[in-house]
Amino acid sequence: MKNNLIIGIPAESRMIKGIYRNNVNSPEVSAVVDYGGIPLLIPTRNPDLMDNYLSIIDGLLIPGGADVAPRFYGEEPIPELGDTDALIDESEINLVRGAVNSKIPMFGICRGIQVINIALGGNIYQDLAAQSPTPVLQHYQRAVLDQGTHHVTVDSDSKLATILETTKILVNSHHHEAVKGIAESLKVTATSSDGVIEGIESVDDDLVMAVQWHPETMYKSDAKMAGLFKDFMDRVRKYQ
The residues that are catalytic are 110, 214, 216
Q: Which residues pair with 124 in a beta bridge?
A: 179
C-alpha distances in Å from residue 34, one per residue of 19, 107, 112, 214, 228: 32, 16, 20, 16, 12
Whether the Cβ atoms of residue 150 and residue 192 lie closer than 8 Å to each other: yes
Q: Which residues pair with 108 in a beta bridge?
A: 62, 210
How many whole angstroms separate alpha carbon 2 and alpha carbon 187?
31
Residues whose CB is less than 8 angstroms from the CB of residue 174 and which lie 6 or more positions away in sequence, other chains included: 64, 110, 139, 140, 141, 145, 213, 214
How many whole angstroms separate alpha carbon 145 and alpha carbon 25?
13
Q: Does an H or E element contain 95, and which?
A: helix 86-102
Q: What share of the chain is helix, strand, coil (3-state, %, to 5)?
A: 30, 25, 40
